[in-house]
Amino acid sequence: MKLLEDRIKRDGTVLPGDVLKVDNFLNHQVDPQLMYEMGGEFKRLFENEGVTRILTVESSGIAPALMAGLKMNVPVVFARKHRSLTLTDNLYTARVYSYTKQVNNDISIDKRFIDPDDKILIIDDFLANGQAVEGMLEICKAAQVDVVGVGVVIEKRFQKGHQLVLDAGIHLEALASIASLANNQVTFASDTDK
Ligand code: G4P
Ligand code: NA
Ligand code: NA
């Protein structure tokens, strides 16, 4: 998505450890207009998949997932990372390991918000090592529900998550696909294809 690639070129910074910082439009400050456009793009990309519900993880997945849900007219559920007072026993839970933070997080969703007949679209902000997506896939498997797609705002194609989703045979779309962050430079897959 050209609009997003241009924004990454303009506002993204590369940090040590192959991390792309995009906190002025995605991970801290959020640009609603850009999110809205991305929602429309997710709709276009997954139009033929019969999506009935969108699943994401708090917190940075919520903004793009919400706009996709708005455009596709389906509900959005976010898995929670922290146990809430009102979130009780009736949960699907998966353990997610974060390579960047080197911690395990349990993510949970209430069983009431996933239905056996659902066709789930998983949305997230970043696809890096794919641990968050894997956790959501585990939850969907426990719920015996179909996952018809994974849509991410930015994938770092050189890390494990991209292949992990493809190996699962799932329709994967990234609005921006980064081939490399070497030498503090953002190289998009679309640049290397040329
Ligand atoms: P994974 O889910 O793909 O395995 O991600 P990983 O464990 O490698 O990264 C952990 C967190 O860091 C995730 O957010 C993930 O979205 C984010 N992340 C990974 N690579 C990048 C990057 O290059 N840039 C930025 N900005 N974030 C990255 P999280 O901890 O779940 O946090 P949040 O959703 O609350 O923001
Ligand atoms: Na995330
Ligand atoms: Na994040």
Annotated binding residue at 142?
no
Q: Which helix (H) or strand (E) holds 20?
A: strand 19-21
Which domain range does residue 188 map to? 2-192
For residue 170, what are its two tokens? 């799932």
CB of 187 within 8 A of CB of 180?
Answer: yes
Nearest CA to ligand 1 atom 6: 98
Residues having CB within 6 Å of any atom of ligand 1: 19-22, 27, 57, 59-61, 98-100, 125-132, 156, 161
CATH code, 160 = 3.40.50.2020
Counted domains in the chain: 1
pTM: 0.95
- The per-residue pLDDT string of the chain (194 residues; one tens digit each, 9 = 90 and over) reads 999 999 999 999 999 999 999 999 999 999 999 999 999 999 999 999 999 999 999 999 999 999 999 999 999 999 999 876 665 679 999 999 988 789 999 999 999 999 999 999 999 999 999 999 999 999 999 999 999 999 999 999 999 999 999 999 999 999 999 999 999 999 999 987 65
